[in-house]
Amino acid sequence: MSSTIDRSAAQGSRNVWEMAQAQLDDVALLLELNPGIHAFLRSPKRVLTVSVPCEMDDRSYRVFEGYRVQHNMSRGPAKGGIRFHPDVTLDEVKALAMWMSWKCALVDIPFGGAKGGIICDPKNMSMRELEHMTRRYTSEISIIIGPERDIPAPDVYTTPQIMAWIMDTFSMMRGYSIPGVVTGKPIAIGGSLGRDKATARGCMFVIDEALRELGISADGARVAIQGFGNAGLHAAELMSVAGYKIVAVSDSRGGIANAKGIDVKKLIAHKSETGSVVGFSGGDAMSNKDVLECDCDVLIPAALEKVITAENAPRIKAKVVAEAANGPTLPEADSILFDRGIMVLPDILANAGGVTVSYFEWVQDLQENFWDEEEVNARLKRTMVRAFKATYEKAKQHKINMRRGAYVLAVGRVAEATMLRGVYP
């Protein structure tokens, strides 16, 4: 390891940024990456911290802390979502931005990586408060975003409505409509058909491919899903229609299980009535943690980071783990799962469907020419299948796990672009 790189962060207790850096260090060795380029890729290009003052409904003022991190822009404008969550930290946003660089490179779309976040509790804020906070945050980060610079999108607890406010605020500041500044927008203002389900659909496409390689029939394959937000809910819906059997589902409040298969339509209705999957009559209560270890063929962590650890990895029963969430598996758990013959479809592959259709949305916005949903879904499928096959071949060729295979491809591409461009000045 070169002296230009301080690896101290990769040892000891792992916060999520240390985990992201450790994943890069691991593949840098495999790729025999030039030490200078390794150091370059190991830190973000640009970090912006903003104070977001906001008038609350009771007329008091609160100041939220927000971030926008651009990790790498060698392959194109930076791309990545914005997260509203009480546990957001700058380190988390840095990790998520780095993962976006690898994700965009793996599916080979011409973007770099970025991420944003605000430390807030959106579940306890009114629509008016959310709108004020979002608009002021947009104004604060407007100095570094734009269709040709950095394009935000939804992430945990951010919605198409929030994207609409971002688009409108940015547009009003410039004096004309600029739909390409953000993706995941409502269809009425330049969103793409198929974007809402794209993360889940892309995840299903790579699971289909993985099961085919493993000789497991998708028809009736048992699926457990942790998280019932945009990714988890739509995965349950699409996969149950496609013939998979959804046997367990959880959200932040708890979970439910039914070995005979959950009626997903009814579960979605229950969630929209009560705000949670908890209390659904078509299954038995199961804790959020137990969902990870339940008897199933496919496990989809679709919530937050660091849920699969060295402690629970030995008890995971799934044959395939598809990371719809970003960063759900700790590096030490990765090796345990690999040794146990469990195929982990890494986040930068398994959830890349979202950013892939974000790319399609941005292309449609720039061309002012919109595609039908069949076209979006067909292009998404081609992209996901191609990325799966390339990753699978790499992993097989080097006898490494799918994450390392994906990283070899993705980091290799970002490193190549960075090297070709050289260092300015």
Please identify, using beta-carbon distances, which residue of 125 and 153 lies nearer to ligand GLU. 153
Q: Catalytic residue among 45, 79, 103, 115, which?
A: 115
Nearer to ligand GLU, 38 or 185 (CB): 185
Report the residue number, 231 or 264, with the smaller CB distance to ligand GLU: 231
Nearer to ligand GLU, 21 or 192 (CB): 192
- DSSP state for residue 9 in the 8-state scheme: G
Residue 60 CB, nearest approach to ligand GLU (Å):
31
Q: Residue written as tokens 């003022």?
A: 61
Nearer to ligand GLU, 93 or 277 (CB): 93
Token representation of residue 285 = 């209560």
Catalytic residue list contains 115: yes
- Minimum Å gap between C-beta 46 and ligand GLU is 17
Query: Please, what is the minimum distance in Å from the beta carbon of residue 183 to ligand GLU?
Result: 5
- Shortest gap between Cβ of 5 and ligand GLU (angstroms)? 26
Cβ atoms of residues 160 and 187 within 8 Å: no
Contacts of 46 (CB under 8 A, 6+ apart): 69, 70, 144
Other Cβ atoms within 10 Å of 59 Cβ, number: 6
Tokens of 239: 């996969």
Cβ–Cβ < 8 Å for 386, 167: no
DSSP 161-181: HHHHHHHHHHHHHHTS--GGG
- Best CA proximity match to 326, nearest among 303, 356, 342: 303
The residues, ordered by sequence, that sit 6+ positions from 357 with a Cβ below 8 Å of its Cβ are: 192, 194, 195, 198, 202, 376, 380
Shortest CA distance to 207 belongs to which of 312, 295, 294, 296?
296
The number of helix segments (H) and strand segments (E) in the chain equals 14, 13
Q: Which residue has the tokens 């008897």?
A: 295
Is the peptide bond prior to 160 cis by the omega test (within 30 degrees of 0)?
A: no
Please state the closest distance from residue 231 (CB atom) to ligand GLU, in A: 9
Taking alpha carbons only, the member of 393, 330, 345, 359 closest to residue 105 is 359
Nearest CB to ligand GLU, comparing residues 155 and 293: 155
For ligand GLU, which is the closer residue by CB, 138 or 326?
Answer: 326
CB of 195 to ligand GLU, least distance (A): 8
Site residues for ligand GLU per CB under 6 A: 79-81, 103, 153, 155, 183, 326, 351, 354-355, 358
Report residue 189 as tokens: 């203002």
Residues 406, 352 contacting (CB under 8 angstroms):
no
Ranked by CB distance to ligand GLU, the top (closest) residue is 81
112: β partners: 78
The Cα–Cα gap between 73 and 234 comes to 31
- Least distance in Å: CB of 152 to ligand GLU? 7
Hey, which residues are catalytic here? 115
